[in-house]
Amino acid sequence: MTNKFIMIASSKGGVGKSTAALGIAAALASGGRRVLLCDLDFGNACLDILLGVQDSVLCTIQDVALGISSVEGALIDIDLPDQNSKRKKAPKNDGALKLFPCAVSAPQTISESGEGGRINAYNICLAIKDAAEFFEADYVIMDTGAGANSVVRATARLCDMALVVTGQMPVALRSAEKTVTRLTELEVPDIRIIINNFDAQGVISDSRRGLFTVIDESKAVLAGVIPYDYSLMLMHERLLLRPGDSKIAFENIAARIEGENIPVFSGIKRLRKLKKKICQ
């Protein structure tokens, strides 16, 4: 039985939602969990490309929602690289990761009620639930598109948790606060923020917003900090969770999702050394 549905959200594009969704899903799966990764960014679907399986996509979540395909025909197995976790408590046996891909289409083709021949957002939710049950997923990670579209509103009803991705830029923080407010109105029970591509040196040298300022302006509990790391760039070239600070950060977030009490910069030595300077 599915343990937890987690939405990755933001009102702004380009803040790294898909990277965060992929990193968290891979960290949970590497820790022994069965993870269903759903691409719900209908306007800019990219998880199949990030995972290097775009040539394997035959059917999509839209096809399942329309009754054209079975869940089994749409899910794609993802092979995780054999990279040992640096976390001491990581299980020896990997779990499993499957992608539920989507076709790139205009977001307005998904409606609340299915009028005008458009796909019903409710059927999208049913497809996700059916896929989670078929796969016996422990976690369902849902990568959503920017804004409060009909799919975000519908899948918010499934959510046990929402992770709002933001950066340090003022425009990203305004967007994060707006997203947190909307998800609160949609009664998502647990809303947290992830600070992506955190520029520690910029806080020290260029007066960029520090950790506490980002939390205050976003108005949500912190789930984790992903430091800028070259390995994040490599995630976009199918070198999934290459060893580096970002890999450790995703593992820390996964552990917090699992209920562990993990310090913000655990295992990230360069940020631990700068903690007093960047926590402002």
Q: What is the pTM of this model?
A: 0.90
C-alpha span between 41 and 144 (Å, rounded): 5
Task: Give 149-197 pLDDT, tens digit per residue.
Answer: 788 888 999 999 999 999 998 999 999 999 999 999 999 999 999 999 8
Cα–Cα–Cα angle for 226, 229, 233, rounded to 5 degrees: 105
Q: Cα separations (Å) of 40 from 72, 143, 232? A: 18, 5, 21
Mean per-residue pLDDT of the chain:
86
The superfamily in CATH containing domain 4-278 is: P-loop containing nucleotide triphosphate hydrolases (3.40.50.300)
Burial class (CB in 10 A: 0-12, 13-18, 19+), 82: exposed
- Judge whether 148 and 11 are in contact, CB under 8 Å: yes
**Domain locations in the chain as residue ranges:** 4-278
- Judge whether 211 and 278 are in contact, CB under 8 Å: yes
- Of the pLDDT bands very low, low, confident and very high (cuts 50, 70, 90), residue 279 is confident
Q: Is the pLDDT higher at 138 or at 82? A: 138
